[in-house]
Structure 1
């Protein structure tokens, strides 16, 4: 077959869908401003930045830019030959900027064909920028570095609608030099945090290597400069390097992701989705996830429990789906990629942020259900739980596959915890979306706060009962992200607050995750300070001492020591650091003037209730000031110094690993 014939077959068979572009980056570096600029070229002046809670994007938003507007924008580029593209448009996903939304960004990453990573060209990389690059690399998603806020370069002269390539070359030499300095700073940061080389797109696009290179596009979303450059680079990269994913295969089962669910007056249950694969039609069956597991249509037309699409609505023009209001049109069918509103009667409480499928009667529902259950399993696996023996907090998956698994020696297996079980107490987490739930669990795991229950949906009475069963005050949080309690629960909580009635847990509710976590951090600190200042605090604090090779009396033994860490007190036992866990004896006195305590750095004589001999104390031998069993359980509520923490880590090891006292230090973590 001739090459011409091959080319003709490709032209006939290959139809491309819109590339899906994840817009990600650090808070305040301009993601939402860029999307506002995009919508402005379509005549829609919606200001999403003003709508976002706290100015931070909380969920994924979808904006579709049709091909006619892309062509119009790209034609303003200073090219001799105008570029041509096959894509029917571009779909942009606005992803959350706070670092805790890694799991939601992961979800958008799994949807996206390409990403744009927005960086304030003056500020450079931030923690969220670095995390975004890591997520994009893990998902093998090509990305473009957008150097936004180029107008912040001193004396930069912006012009709305101008190409940033053209603008860069039209600046004065000293301004270009300053812009270059910021660019080279970014180049170094990209090299430090990824495997890629960075190149200005107009210099690197012809020799671009997807495995080694990433392109840089300067722009100013605020001044409207450089948008056409970005659109050009997106289409060039997507159609060349993500082409296989863009090709439409008619035989694929339709699927997408749920962005929102609501009851609408006069309409009923509706969901907003992004359709990522296939074609859907009015009357098609639906399969989706709930807290109880997957739900699917039975494919029997007379079945009153059937779950099928009653209507399909598309936002008119370039309206951002979350701002569409009444700007929708009804259609009989829609193909990927598209942001859509579906009306589906009898739909149960669907997981917002989860996958949704549209199977045909010939599709294998059993295999589909197996795939769908994995999504719920991921939440279960990543939930932070506490080990019943060592009381470490780790994900459920780590607990079962590493921590208690003898086949994982050297990879996380703990010998003393082989027979451990998961402790079923801790925080209760509720969230409006699947991704939000994942994000909260991620944050709690970082803070070593275990959970007893987590699911999508409003707070209910069962959640209150569960949190009341939690014993540790540092874990006693009922957390609600972007949801509230049902009416009865909210009324009870408000009534308790009004009457100043003490509620035996902390109810932390809000729409922005990092504010919730800041509040939890403050509450934990308050709980610890209260415990440390209470009268029933620990009798002894952890310490480490060293024998100074000088003795003054044999019976009872009096010898010199240096306090290396923490503080020792009269009455405190001294633990040997020789692998036996034995107690040397008890301190009877300190110093020569009746002191009761010696602090870190001091060298003092101590009297111990043993007979001194060279057989029971060696030169430079190390001992630990022991903490009583009952006091060890209070340490989780005590603020320890860094050196006290180091000493107590070793004391806990002696009790748990050598003496096999697994309840010692319950709940304490450094």
Structure 2
């Protein structure tokens, strides 16, 4: 008999991934989850008897038998977690189930899931969930095909309309699809199975499509090979009385309790002795079941908790092998090869990237490379103080840390209070990337505005009659800003280009200000000016822009008001008449 296939369930938040598995195993893990959303990777083995029970009536209708021993479902909290279920050359998942809300269609995380499924080469089907929410839907049958026939015409039309719309959205992503009972070639078209995790409608058909695909197209992949046990670490945890343990998905080979464990870490390959192989009970979720049974031997595909003598440095998503004495070197080479395929090109400068597993890191780094973001460090684990120190030394747009599904240590949190480094923390890749993009744009805009504040702005001012407070050293005169923006430190000249002096300070109602805009009436202190000698009441003056400031003003032209642009054109004419080469500075 072949091994059971491994299925990963992916989808946007709240699309119904865990509710779907709850419907199959008749458990209520969702109720204990924060916000009704899966918080960590889970694995559930559904045995043959349960498949036959759920699909019973359909099996009789189709006059067929289930040949696989069961199905192992992997419930992923985010699509990067799916990448943790990897092996060299692809994913350990034999089939993906892409969960889509019939009312919402393809959402940002759905797009991420599609990309990851396509990149890993994993065949998949679409579970179109929440068909029971279509207005007017009503049936007592668990079979979608029967339920659909029972609906009124307008309800059938609504369901079909939504299916066609989602077929169109999938087509935009290069995926040819159709409703499962209309698919003529499952190798060329992705099957869409409308279901309701809430009422169980369509679940028998979904399981039958999965079973059919497994038996008809994946028979070679489901062969069990003797020898080295090959797996991927789902989660690492500390168990009372057992120390550090690893929840593992065994996808090929055999694991035996007297084998040596060879595993990957951030520092390379390590090995240790097995203390115990612990299996969860059937129809229980590996992370929820605390009543394991010890076994001497595990065959694929299976979820198993490994208790070992010392799991130093073991991390989620790492490759893991179990081997007898004569096979240990071969196992080490396999783990080394897989770790090599997970190495990333980093730069001398750039952001810091941290993730909860190697697979998550891989998925995030793939997206980062597509965005051309420089990375100086990419590691598994929480954000620590050394990450903050590294980021602090960077240019402003690289003073950032991507924290995918990981926390921040207390020491790092203290260092962060200096507010020099920005941490983008989320369980969703696109939220991190969108947050960084928006922050970087805001940062650039802030830097541009600061740059504009550092130069003389174009301004035309009028010295107001009867408002001379001091005639010289420096002259203090009441001025009206006729146009543009006058800034402290600017030089002033006549409309003929004769330099008068520099703005030492600007005051409004006896308070110093950095700048004054069109329409403002302010007191201006002008060093170098003497009222009655080189300037008189009622005179018009303009700012004298040097070549460096002119280049900055051109670069930041979109930040200038129309008045400033108009005055700048006037200033350029004046300066060009006096010295045609002034712009070369």
TM-score exceeds 0.5: yes
Aligned equivalents of 2:148, 2:574: Cα separation in 1: 74
Aligned to 2:310: 346
Q: CA deviation at 1:608?
A: 7.8
Aligned to 2:197: 221
Aligned equivalents of 1:437, 1:84: Cα separation in 2: 41
Query: In 2 relative to 1, CA 175–132 (structure 1 residues): closer, same or farther, beyond 3 Å?
Result: same
Q: Deviations over 1:250-304 (max 9, x none)?
A: 2x421011001112121112110111011111121111111111113xxxxxxxx
User: Any residues of structure 2 matched to 1:191-270 within 5 Å, and which?
Assistant: 191-194=171-174, 196-201=176-181, 203-204=182-183, 208-250=184-226, 252-270=227-245
Aligned equivalents of 1:508, 1:138: Cα separation in 2: 25
Aligned partners of 1:570 and 1:597 also within 8 Å: no
Aligned to 2:251: 276
Aligned to 2:104: 123
Aligned equivalents of 2:285, 2:342: Cα separation in 1: 29
Q: Deviations over 1:90-137 (max 9, x none)?
A: 011123446x66845877961111122222223333344344334434
Aligned equivalents of 1:433, 1:217: Cα separation in 2: 32
- Secondary structure of the corresponding residue to residue 547 of structure 2: coil
Matched, 1:477 2:441: no
- Secondary structure of the corresponding residue to residue 187 of structure 1: helix
Aligned equivalents of 1:192, 1:376: Cα separation in 2: 34
Aligned partners of 2:85 and 2:93 also within 8 Å: no
Matched, 1:24 2:10: yes
Aligned equivalents of 1:281, 1:190: Cα separation in 2: 44
User: Any residues of structure 2 matched to 1:568-587 within 5 Å, and which?
Assistant: 571=547
Aligned to 2:158: 178
Structure with greater Cα Rg: 2
More strand by share: 2
Q: Deviations over 1:346-372 (max 9, x none)?
A: 11111211211112333372x544443
Aligned equivalents of 1:61, 1:310: Cα separation in 2: 23
Q: Deviations over 1:460-479 (max 9, x none)?
A: 44333323332x12211244
Aligned partners of 2:30 and 2:36 also within 8 Å: no
- Secondary structure of the corresponding residue to residue 75 of structure 1: helix
- Secondary structure of the corresponding residue to residue 132 of structure 1: helix
Query: In 2 relative to 1, CA 284–167 (structure 1 residues): closer, same or farther, beyond 3 Å?
Result: same
User: Any residues of structure 2 matched to 1:23-422 within 5 Å, and which?
Assistant: 23-40=9-26, 44-47=27-30, 50-51=32-33, 56-57=37-38, 59-77=40-58, 79-97=60-78, 103-104=83-84, 110-159=91-140, 162-194=142-174, 196-201=176-181, 203-204=182-183, 208-250=184-226, 252-296=227-271, 307-324=272-289, 326-363=290-327, 365=329, 368-381=331-344, 383=345, 385=346, 422=347
Alignment coverage as a number of residue pairs: 487
Query: In 2 relative to 1, CA 521–130 (structure 1 residues): closer, same or farther, beyond 3 Å?
Result: closer
Aligned equivalents of 1:627, 1:355: Cα separation in 2: 62
Aligned equivalents of 1:91, 1:192: Cα separation in 2: 31
Query: How large is the RMSD of aligned CA atoms in angstroms?
Result: 3.8
Provide the TM-score with structure 1 as the length reference: 0.65
Aligned to 2:422: 506
Aligned partners of 1:58 and 1:512 also within 8 Å: no
- Secondary structure of the corresponding residue to residue 425 of structure 1: coil
Aligned partners of 1:508 and 1:516 also within 8 Å: yes
Aligned partners of 1:109 and 1:135 also within 8 Å: no
Aligned equivalents of 1:96, 1:435: Cα separation in 2: 13
Aligned partners of 2:399 and 2:421 also within 8 Å: yes
Aligned equivalents of 1:59, 1:608: Cα separation in 2: 72
Query: In 2 relative to 1, CA 596–374 (structure 1 residues): closer, same or farther, beyond 3 Å?
Result: farther
Aligned partners of 1:56 and 1:97 also within 8 Å: no
Aligned equivalents of 1:180, 1:594: Cα separation in 2: 58
Query: In 2 relative to 1, CA 236–510 (structure 1 residues): closer, same or farther, beyond 3 Å?
Result: closer
Aligned equivalents of 1:228, 1:291: Cα separation in 2: 43
Q: Find the partner of 1:463 among 387, 391, 415.
A: 387
Aligned equivalents of 1:135, 1:426: Cα separation in 2: 25
Aligned partners of 1:39 and 1:46 also within 8 Å: no
| Gap runs ≥5 in structure 2 | 458-544, 552-561
